[in-house]
A = this chain, B = another copy of it.
Amino acid sequence: MGFDPGSVRVVACDIFGTTVDWRTGVAEQVAEIAAGRGVELDGGAFADAWRDRYLPSMRRVNDGERDWAYLDTLHRESLDELLELHGVAGAFGEDARRRLVRSWHRLPAWDDSVDGLARLRERYVVAALSNGGFALLTNLVKEAGLPFDCILSAELARAYKPDPRAYLTAVGLLDVEPSEVLMVAAHAWDIDGAREAGLRTAFLERPLEKGPARGADRAEDTRSDLAVRGFGELADLLAAVPGTVPPE
């Protein structure tokens, strides 16, 4: 290990893909809402195409090409484009489109998330740190029963990860040093951003994040302090570290 895990006080967790299975959740809700309108849509492929627009849409905010916009707004814009591309725009009115955007607020946790987070919480302040809006995350975390100590969002910085402001605003709100925060994420771009902001990092492998047909990011795609295969393994690893700094 290249760092002393005993110096960690806060475990900050990415949400989409890392803690919850966005693809299964969105695919199911898309398919259901489409079926209710007599439209046949491949939920998985639609979810993939929607997610493909995620990073580019946030980059335009971070680069200052446009003002701050909520993730819900970005999701809505991508959705409108996609429905047009699929030639089904006419079948989805305002209400259906709102429900589709809301599908990102209600996603299933990966099997190991609830237990692993609960174990981490015994020794650390455990925070959600996501590009999702504060309300989205509050709803999602509540619905999935994820035991976080607090919710932090890129919205509080009005800049999206991997912009350093997103990480450093969270660090400042928790009144710790960047090096006392361990960022846990399943995406190389998130690990890279956190590392550049001075945080410690744990790459958490989610091989099925993008479904069975597409490859997910792997530990070797980035440089992280730790690499684990789930929150249970992370809790095991950190539990073996002596002299952890208590939260206060």
User: Which residues from chain A sit less than 8 Å from chain B, CB to CB?
Assistant: 102, 105-106, 121, 125, 127, 133-135, 137-139, 141-143, 149-151, 155-156, 173-176, 247-248
Contacts and interface: CB of A to CB of B under 8 A. Distances in A.
A248 B142 CA distance: 10
B149 A142 contact: yes
Q: Which of A149, A150, A175 has the most B CB atoms < 10 Å from its CB?
A: A150
Contact of A138 (B139, B150, B155, B156): B150
Contacts of A106: 248
Q: What 8 pairs between A and B have smallest CB-CB spacing?
A: A135-B175, A134-B173, A150-B151, A138-B150, A142-B149, A135-B174, A139-B248, A138-B149
A151 B152 CA distance: 9
A248 B143 CA distance: 9
Contacts of A176: 135
A176 B138 CA distance: 12
Contacts of A173: 134-135, 155
B134 A174 contact: yes
